[in-house]
Amino acid sequence: MSSTTYECDFLVIGSGIAGLTFALKVAQEGTVHIITKKAKAESNTNYAQGGIAAVWDPEDSFEQHIQDTLAAGAGLCHPDAVELIVRNGPERVNELMKWGVKFSTTPNGRLDLGREGGHRRNRIIHATDLTGREVERALLNSVKENKNIRIFENHMAVELITEHHLQNKQTRPKQQPIHCWGAYVLDVEADQVKTFLSRTVLLATGGCGHVYLHTTNPSIATGDGVAMAYRAGAWVGNLEFMQFHPTTLFYPGANSFLISEAVRGFGGILRNSEGEAFMANYHPMKDLASRDIVARAIDAELKRSGADCVYLDVTHLDPNEVKSHFPHIYEKCLELGLDITAQPIPVVPAAHYMCGGVVTNLRARTSICGLYAAGEVAFTGVHGANRLASNSLLEALVFGNIAAKDAKNYRRNVDVPRNQIPSWSTEGTFNAEEWVLVAHDRGEIQTLMWDYVGIVRSNLRLQRAERRVRLVAEEIEDFYKRTKITEGLLELRNLSCVAQLMIAASRFRRESRGLHYNTDYPEPDDRYWKHDTFIHRDLGIQIALPAKIVWDDE
């Protein structure tokens, strides 16, 4: 392998909304390299449907958006982080429009505001049901016009570069701060690991839906950022809180396809196989209760009836309105022979969004100096035990922007120890002829996670998952150490790491709260009120008030 090295002021890992927002902001100050593991648009962002939650209607207020977010978060949201995203929402939406995003408007030219679960007002700014695609298009266009930004497609980050990699490294006390100076990156087409050096690094690698068998996420979502940061020695947090979206199309053989919550916001009604509108039995907000409640209700209906799916019914709504508000969903279903204006849509829940992630503070700094995290990979404290719909794009925008402000200052005082950073070594590794031995491990992890660490958990299920995933992970790690790396092997290694962290966090939280439901502890426990679950490679796992996990970030 060659020792190609690149150097810039700001390295961005990931080209979704968080990474691109950050890049556009810091490019005013220095050179930016964005590495992204597939084609540049391929990201969770690109598939977002419903929209961006922001206070826009004069009848709405920051206080109401804050209250709705806190209510969904079941006692674990960090109020200062929530306030930050809510109050910055309108400014960030305006900036998106300045960058060329075209949102849907009403006939009188105002932004059209949709509604989703858990919101007590219409505040979802959207571009029909293809919001993410429109945002990604506009951001990539702006990036293309910026001379300071260079994108490297099909480049996959392997590991973050820290003291651990330095030649002549000295033994350091465990508590001393670690620094990040870049990443080793697999150029997938050239089959070569390159060294990317930088004064600051933004992790914007998105989520980890593919830890599970059924997910709304595209294939990029394999938890790489959480796994890399954890291995590098960053704190990660609240990984027990995986959000399952209640409504993905149930169509055996077809790729997973989301039916936006905005459809329920528009009047869609969930019915069981007997045709009963069952949500009234579960929550006063019925179909617009928060996602954890709706997903669990569907799970209960499926277990009770033995049916394969429930149905989302929009046949009582004006067909033309349905088609004009949800053109993408309408067309996609029609391709599969389903006219949603005439037939109810078969739906099931699927893994959708990771509420936890790499722990950051209000400046988007992780516990590793020079390493920032924003977007789905980050645990900012905004979402608590359950994310409110459409708060994710908003969080990525706001924290991408905050990270940029901070990184511009931080990078001025950084010296990258470039002469001490070695090239990636392939010594002692062989080509992956034995790949077949571990290739099936991906499916095994996904099935174990779906069956044992899903919407409803128990101590026994979690114990089983822990034992089995640990065995599989050991096999993968052993294979990784001896083998020339490939994209598939790296993803598998990251999936097994994140699955283990999720199981550990789930076992540690001995209560049910928000998205984490354990039948052995079916109620929230007041002792865990406001307590997050933190995991560190060297310091282990703890459940603590966030104030306990602080680091010197000057």
List residues binding ligand SIN (CB under 6 A).
49-50, 260-262, 353, 389-390, 392
Question: Cβ closer to ligand FAD: 48 or 502?
Answer: 48
Q: Which does 14 bind (CB under 5 to 8 A by kind): ligand SIN, ligand FAD, none?
A: ligand FAD
Measured CA to CA, the distance from residue 18 to residue 203 in angstroms comes to 9
Question: Cβ closer to ligand FAD: 233 or 265?
Answer: 265
Measured CA to CA, the distance from residue 438 to residue 354 in angstroms comes to 26
Question: Cβ closer to ligand SIN: 391 or 500?
Answer: 391
Closest CA to 454 of 310, 345, 303, 270: 303
Q: Which does 366 bind (CB under 5 to 8 A by kind): ligand SIN, ligand FAD, none?
A: none
Q: Which does 237 bind (CB under 5 to 8 A by kind): ligand FAD, ligand SIN, none?
A: none
Q: Which does 19 bind (CB under 5 to 8 A by kind): ligand FAD, ligand SIN, none?
A: ligand FAD
Q: How many residues bind ligand FAD (CB under 6 A)?
A: 43
Q: Which does 328 bind (CB under 5 to 8 A by kind): ligand SIN, ligand FAD, none?
A: none
φ, ψ of residue 91 to 5 degrees: the values are -65, -40
Contact pick of 8, 12, 19, 379 for ligand FAD (by CB under 6 A):
19
Q: Is 466 in the site for ligand FAD (CB under 6 A)?
A: no
Q: Is 392 in the site for ligand FAD (CB under 6 A)?
A: yes
> Minimum Å distance from CB 415 to ligand FAD?
25
> Minimum Å distance from CB 121 to ligand FAD?
16
Q: Is 505 in the site for ligand FAD (CB under 6 A)?
A: no
Contact pick of 86, 157, 448, 453 for ligand FAD (by CB under 6 A):
157
443's CB contacts (< 8 A; 6+ apart) are 213
Instruction: Report how far apart, in Å, the C-alpha atoms of 42 and of each of 332, 368, 415 are.
Output: 19, 27, 33
> Minimum Å distance from CB 220 to ligand SIN?
16
Question: Cβ closer to ligand SIN: 33 or 325?
Answer: 325
Q: Is 35 in the site for ligand FAD (CB under 6 A)?
A: yes
Measured CA to CA, the distance from residue 112 to residue 323 in angstroms comes to 16
Contact pick of 8, 11, 12, 13 for ligand FAD (by CB under 6 A):
13
Contact pick of 72, 298, 393, 535 for ligand FAD (by CB under 6 A):
393
Q: How many CA atoms lie within 13 A of 431 on its CB side?
A: 3
Question: Cβ closer to ligand SIN: 388 or 503?
Answer: 388
Q: Is 313 in the site for ligand FAD (CB under 6 A)?
A: no
Q: DSSP character for 289?
A: S
> Minimum Å distance from CB 272 to ligand SIN?
20
Give the pairing type, strands 378-379 and 113-114.
unpaired
Contact pick of 195, 217, 272, 380 for ligand FAD (by CB under 6 A):
217
Residue sitting closest to ligand SIN (CB): 50
Q: How many CA atoms lie within 13 A of 438 on its CB side?
A: 26
Q: Is 49 in the site for ligand FAD (CB under 6 A)?
A: yes
Q: Is 17 in the site for ligand FAD (CB under 6 A)?
A: yes
Question: Cβ closer to ligand SIN: 295 or 490?
Answer: 295
303-318 per-residue burial string, b: 16 or more CB within 10 A, e: under 16: eeeebebbbbbbbebe
Is residue 400 a contact partner of residue 21, using CB atoms and an 8 Å limit? yes
Amino acid at 134: E
Question: Cβ closer to ligand SIN: 160 or 378?
Answer: 378
Question: Cβ closer to ligand SIN: 53 or 462?
Answer: 53
> Minimum Å distance from CB 505 to ligand SIN?
21
Measured CA to CA, the distance from residue 505 to residue 554 in angstroms comes to 29
Q: Which residues are catalytic?
A: 291
Q: Is 366 in the site for ligand FAD (CB under 6 A)?
A: no
Give the CA-trace dihedral at 425, 430, 431, 436, to 10 degrees: -120
Is residue 386 a contact partner of residue 514, using CB atoms and an 8 Å limit? yes
> Minimum Å distance from CB 359 to ligand SIN?
22
Secondary structure (DSSP) of 8-68: EEEEEE--SHHHHHHHHHHTTTS-EEEE-SSSTT-SSGGG--S-EE---STT--HHHHHHH
> Minimum Å distance from CB 312 to ligand SIN?
11
527's CB contacts (< 8 A; 6+ apart) are none
Is residue 203 a contact partner of residue 224, using CB atoms and an 8 Å limit? no
Measured CA to CA, the distance from residue 491 to residue 445 in angstroms comes to 12
Q: Is 162 in the site for ligand FAD (CB under 6 A)?
A: no
Measured CA to CA, the distance from residue 217 to residue 209 in angstroms comes to 6
Two tokens at 130?
Answer: 């293809």
12's CB contacts (< 8 A; 6+ apart) are 19, 22, 23, 32, 33, 34, 35, 201, 202, 204
Question: Cβ closer to ligand SIN: 268 or 370?
Answer: 268
Amino acid at 387: R
For residue 331, the SS3 value is helix
368's CB contacts (< 8 A; 6+ apart) are 160, 162, 177, 178, 179, 180, 229, 232, 233, 234
> Minimum Å distance from CB 404 to ligand FAD?
13
Is residue 279 a contact partner of residue 230, using CB atoms and an 8 Å limit? no
φ, ψ of residue 275 to 5 degrees: the values are 85, 0
Question: Cβ closer to ligand FAD: 216 or 367?
Answer: 216
> Minimum Å distance from CB 68 to ligand SIN?
13
Contact pick of 27, 32, 143, 204 for ligand FAD (by CB under 6 A):
204
Q: Is 386 in the site for ligand FAD (CB under 6 A)?
A: no
Q: Is 455 in the site for ligand FAD (CB under 6 A)?
A: no
Q: Provide the greatest CA pair distance for the chain.
A: 71
> Minimum Å distance from CB 10 to ligand SIN?
28
Residues that bind ligand FAD (CB under 6 A): 13-19, 35-38, 42-45, 47-52, 131-132, 156-157, 204-207, 216-217, 220, 224, 258, 353, 375-377, 390-393, 396
